[in-house]
Amino acid sequence: MKFVIKHEIKGRIRLNVLQRRMTYQEADILQYYFESLDYIDNVKINTRIQSVTIFYTGKRDKLLNELKAFSYNQEDIPENALQNTGRELNDIYWEKLVTRVALRMVNNVLLPYPIRSLITIVKSARYIVEGLRTLAKRKMEVAVLDATAITVSMLRKDYKTAGSVMFFLGIGEILEEWTHKKSVGDLARSMSLNVGKVWLTNDGREVLVPTSVIKPGDNILVHMGNVIPFDGTVALGEAMVNQSSLTGESMPVEKKRGSVVYAGTVVEEGELTIEVHETGGSSKYERIVTMIEESEKLKSALESRAEHLADRLVPYTLAGTGLVYLFTRNVTKALAVLMVDFSCALKLAMPISVLSAIREASSYDITVKGGKFLEAVAEADTIVFDKTGTLTKARPVVADVISFNGDDPDELLRIAACMEEHFPHSMAKAVVDAAKERGLEHEEMHSKVEYIVAHGISTSIDGKKAIIGSNHFVFEDENCVVLEEMKEKFKALPDEYSHLYLAIDGILAAVICIEDPLREEAAEVISKLKASGISKVVMMTGDSDRTAKAIANRVGVDEYYSEVLPEDKAKFVEKEKADGRRVIMIGDGINDSPALSAADVGIAISDGAEIAREIADITIGADDLNEIITLKNISNGLMKRINKNYRFIVGFNSGLILLGVSGAVQPTTSALMHNTSTLAIGLKSMGNIHV
């Protein structure tokens, strides 16, 4: 790529790309590629002037060499990374806004008054027709108020005021539509599928391959707890599929041979072999956009109250106009009331505040599926943490493999990895990663694998039953035993580790010691949560009491519960809610899903199981618990902003009405001040909350 450096300081370089025109797709490819490099912090691209600003750490020469070698055609960019990025949307609405303002200025300066008046009359038809349609539906909404104000102004031949009203209404519509579409787009992109690999079935064999190689007609196997990555038809198997992300259905739906399945839904129980129909991601994106735009249940209570209040105030505004005219017989004073209404500002500022907060959260890798969940976070007084992968690091590691049957530890680790690779859990990933680091290849050597939630895995190897899982599962549920000569060694297992037990043919074969290091920021985050208004912090885990107690003491939770099952977590959440508490549940695994659904707000850590991310109301993408504090600050700030906006709108517009009725200001001035304040509060509501 050819370029010219325009300006640079340490850690930042701005350059112009030397090409005739930069397309949106080229800009997306360039941004995706450089942001994927570990030493690049941020990339900003302006397609109009072909300017690229790169914020980086490390050596300047390395970046320049990368820029020189870059080619749009050579880079292997995933298709879904370039779909619906929002770059074109922003340019379109910016041009609309600039064009509207420029035309207004040109008309006022160059066109004579009669022509401007004629243009105003023509433009008014849209608002008047919309007002009449609303009345025809027997509704008294803001459109009626707008139409009345414009009509009365024109009947008085006050075309300047009518034009000003329509100009500010038009600007407000553009800003609201732009902010809404951008926020919805940002949210939908963050919710879109990000499945890197799938199990391709061919002649009875399962091969893990990148999703990019899958084509229509291929058969893929989707195990329990995984997201279905493509639209298709079930070719083999039966399963219960959670479709809530697309349909809003709360209960999973049974799928069997011949059933149609959709990308983005989750296999909750069983497994399916699916014949792929579509491999593109755009249909999933569009469905998510539709879901967000149409789902009233995702609006915050304050947002809904504001919108309903806006419509309810319309009749009072009209009645106030009539009363002022009745008592004063002064059209000017009556118009002062009509020109100033509370509805416009309420309907513009409240939704924009919520959508902007969701957009801001997404900039911190926090996906929020609706304004109601931000409100619930702000009001929450109880927070429940899962331990593994949440308070502890999302990537536990294997510290040791202890053999109890005389086999080589590496061979036992290879067997464990072969079993664990099928299921999404942090401890399973630790086993698979440890085998990979030691160069242990593990071809499929077992029969069908059965996963028992919160317990373990069962299968058959060379005709022998093999199980791996918790102490409870291996020794109590499956009645496995430790060889007599190994009992002293078993008693001496190190306490500082979590233990994963592998048994073959009813005899303990190995104990895999998992080091689950505590997140450095965990204790500080819990302290900050208490300072921000959370009165009760709870930790729940399936681990032993010994491990749970040690972690609880270190992080400073108020209560902890050990050796709990998934239903225990959900029951605890329900009990807290029944006691009148507002509960946040934070987890990352399949076993957290019932509690995530039961809580007022379910928050999933993005490195965890896909089903947890799909069910959760909020997903935190960054590998840092401080994002919870950021989320809490944004939520608290949003509620403060909405209440502050409400007080300002009522106070300012009431003042304008009083000034108009007293004759201190003319209707034109009153309308200008009202519309200017509405626009200003809308623009301010678009700004970021968190500092």
Domain identity same for 402 and 511: yes
Phi, psi of 79 (to 5 degrees): -60, -40
Confidence of residue 295 (pLDDT cuts 50, 70, 90): very low
- Give the other-Cβ count within 10 Å of 283's Cβ: 14
Confidence of residue 524 (pLDDT cuts 50, 70, 90): very high
Domain identity same for 561 and 680: no
**Helix 343-363 vs helix 667-685: crossing angle, to nearest 10:** 20
Residue 135 domain flag? yes
SS (H, E, C) 450-519: EEECCCEEEEEECCEEEEEECHHHHHHHCCCECCHHHHHHHHCCCCCCEEEEEEECCEEEEEEEEECCEC
Sequence letter at residue 176: E
| pLDDT tens digits for range 378-415 | 999 999 998 877 888 756 789 899 999 999 999 999 98
C-alpha of 245 from chain center: 12
Q: Can you tell me the mean pLDDT for 425-450?
A: 76
Residue 631 domain flag? no
The reported pLDDT for the residue numbered 609 is 55
27 pLDDT above the threshold of 90: no
Last residue of one domain, picked from the residues 32, 53, 77: 77
Residue 173 domain flag? yes
Q: Can you tell me the mean pLDDT for 18-30?
A: 85
The region of weakest confidence among 103-117, 136-150, 217-231 is: 136-150
Last residue of one domain, picked from the residues 621, 654, 671: 621
351 pLDDT above the threshold of 80: no
Domain identity same for 51 and 137: no
- Give first-to-last CA distance, the chain, whole Å: 37
The region of weakest confidence among 377-391, 472-486, 667-681 is: 667-681
CATH number, position 610: 3.40.50.1000
| pLDDT tens digits for range 232-267 | 899 998 888 877 555 545 457 889 899 988 877 788
CATH number, position 239: 2.70.150.10
Sequence letter at residue 8: E
CATH number, position 456: 3.40.1110.10
Domain identity same for 493 and 433: yes
The reported pLDDT for the residue numbered 247 is 53
Cβ neighbours for 647, distance < 8 A, ≥ 6 positions apart: none
Euclidean distance between CA atoms 206 and 525, whole angstroms:
43
The reported pLDDT for the residue numbered 366 is 84
The reported pLDDT for the residue numbered 329 is 79
340 pLDDT above the threshold of 70: no
Top-confidence residue, 282 or 85:
85
Residue 629 domain flag? no
Euclidean distance between CA atoms 516 and 519, whole angstroms:
9
Q: Can you tell me the mean pLDDT for 551-555?
A: 88
Domain identity same for 161 and 304: yes
The rounded percent of the chain whose pLDDT value lies above 70 is: 81
**Mean pLDDT in the chain?**
80
Q: Can you tell me the mean pLDDT for 414-427?
A: 78
Q: Can you tell me the mean pLDDT for 44-52?
A: 87
Domain identity same for 546 and 404: no
Domain identity same for 105 and 143: yes
655 pLDDT above the threshold of 70: yes
Instruction: Indicate the number of domains in the chain.
Output: 5
Secondary element (H or E) of residue 149: helix 142-155
Domain identity same for 269 and 405: no
Domain identity same for 677 and 654: yes
Residue 127 domain flag? yes
The reported pLDDT for the residue numbered 598 is 86
The reported pLDDT for the residue numbered 282 is 47
Residue 84 domain flag? no
Phi, psi of 382 (to 5 degrees): -130, 135
Last residue of one domain, picked from the residues 515, 541, 571: 515
- What is the chain's length? 691
**Mean pLDDT highest for which of 128-142, 308-322, 402-416?**
402-416
CATH number, position 57: 3.30.70.100
Residue 292 domain flag? no
Q: Can you tell me the mean pLDDT for 462-486?
A: 89
The reported pLDDT for the residue numbered 576 is 94
Q: Are strands 583-587 and 601-605 parallel, antiparallel or unpaired?
A: parallel
Domain identity same for 97 and 52: no
Domain identity same for 184 and 204: no
Cβ neighbours for 108, distance < 8 A, ≥ 6 positions apart: 116
SS (H, E, C) 219-256: EEEECCCCECCCEEEEEECCEEEECHHHHCCCCCEEEC
pTM score above 0.75: no
Domain identity same for 376 and 430: no
Residue 359 domain flag? no
Confidence of residue 273 (pLDDT cuts 50, 70, 90): very high
Closest listed residue to residue 559, CA positions, set 538, 577, 581, 536: 538
Confidence of residue 344 (pLDDT cuts 50, 70, 90): low
Q: Can you tell me the mean pLDDT for 645-661?
A: 80
Q: Are strands 382-386 and 536-540 parallel, antiparallel or unpaired?
A: parallel
622 pLDDT above the threshold of 70: no
Domain with 541, as residue range(s), is: 366-393+518-621
